[in-house]
Amino acid sequence: MQEHNDSDMPIHRSVLLREVLELLSPVDGGVYFDGTFGGGGYSRALLESANCSIIACDRDDRVVAIADDFGKKYLGRFTFFHEKFSSIKSLLQDPVDGIVLDLGVSNFQLSDPTRGFSFRAAGPIDMSMGLCDETAMDVLRKYSENDLANIIYKFGEEHFSRRIAKNIKLNLKNIHNTEDLANIIRKCVGKKGKIDAATKTFQALRIFVNRELEELEKILADSIDVLKPSGKILVVSFHSLEDRIVKLFFREMCATGRFALLTKKPIIASEEELSSNSKSRSAKLRGIYML
């Protein structure tokens, strides 16, 4: 699953890449914003398919080395900011032809135990993608049992949120790493099906620590002010909370008469992609364009 690039970082296998490329259909001279640079899979495909320019950002400082390589390889056509995508308005000086977001964490973030995203290995309870004010451990310590339960319910849609929050607070002194945390959650939820019982709580903490939904709402609202006429916005989301925000925003924008849907229904991964990249299982691609 993991390959390496020139920067010796594990490579993230881009999801729905062909579909994103087809919908965005970059043109020579076009300028596109890649708000979730990651391993650079989308940026590279765009830069290779037309003589276009990319302005990219990522909140994770560990992708800066990859971005530096891009700057050298695509001289004058690639600009990178180590920033959150919610700053889009201050990052762009002129309107762009397209904006693309591939939300959530990358494989190299997930698979690095020192980042604390995974319940499969013992790591620090961190979960920051970068440029965060607090870690997941801060959240467990700082927030009351009631607030913690609400976070787990709201961002993880976890029905056992109250029981989980109570047990986390009761056992706080014994929670030293992600494995300890996952085991406490598993005891509260019990085994059900193939999905690990800690999945929803880990998702909730990650979304909360990174303020992922606020980030998404902010960039969507600001993106319409930095698009050229006919400009496109494409978003790949990975869970229902994100997808709902994107779907409702696109619907609202189309109702103004200034935008139209590029995707009547969300595009999902092909059988071929599903069989080679399990992360694509939950991916949904939606897009709109300015009339």
Ligand X SMILES: C[S@@+](CC[C@H](N)C(=O)[O-])C[C@H]1O[C@@H](n2cnc3c(N)ncnc32)[C@H](O)[C@@H]1O
Distance CA 181, CA 267 (A): 35
Distance CA 98, CA 58 (A): 17
Stretch binding ligand X (CB under 6 A), from 59-67, 185-193, 224-232, 261-269: 59-67
Distance CA 101, CA 42 (A): 9
Q: Tokens 């999905």 sit at which residue?
A: 195
**Least Cβ distance, residue 105 to ligand X (angstroms):** 6
Decide: is 237 part of the binding site for ligand X (CB under 6 A): no
* CA dihedral for 128, 210, 132, 129, sign (positive or negative): positive
Nearer to ligand X, 110 or 254 (CB): 110
How many residues at the interface with ligand X, by CB under 6 A? 22
Decide: is 38 part of the binding site for ligand X (CB under 6 A): yes
Among 46, 54, 56, 57, binds ligand X (CB under 6 A): 57
Strands ordered across the beta sheet of 53-57: 78-81, 53-57, 31-34, 96-102, 227-237, 284-290, 259-261
Helix/strand/coil for 186: helix
Decide: is 39 part of the binding site for ligand X (CB under 6 A): yes
Decide: is 116 part of the binding site for ligand X (CB under 6 A): no
Residue 188: name the closest of 155, 152, 163, 213 by CA.
163
**Using an 8 Å Cβ cutoff, are 289 and 231 in contact?**
yes
Decide: is 242 part of the binding site for ligand X (CB under 6 A): no
Stretch binding ligand X (CB under 6 A), from 39-47, 115-123, 139-147, 264-272: 39-47
Among 84, 115, 200, 284, binds ligand X (CB under 6 A): 84
**Least Cβ distance, residue 115 to ligand X (angstroms):** 10
Stretch binding ligand X (CB under 6 A), from 22-30, 56-64, 113-121, 148-156: 56-64
- Amino acid in the structure at residue 271: E
Residues 6+ apart with CB under 8 A from 152: 158, 161, 164, 165, 200, 201, 204, 205
Nearer to ligand X, 35 or 231 (CB): 35
Fill in the per-residue mask, 127 to 156: x = in contact with ligand X (CB under 6 A), - = not in contact: --x---------------------------
Fill in the per-residue mask, 204 to 223: x = in contact with ligand X (CB under 6 A), - = not in contact: -----------x--------
Distance CA 122, CA 282 (A): 25
Give the footprint of ligand X on this chain (CB under 6 A): 12, 14, 35-36, 38-42, 57-60, 63, 84-86, 102, 104, 106, 129, 215
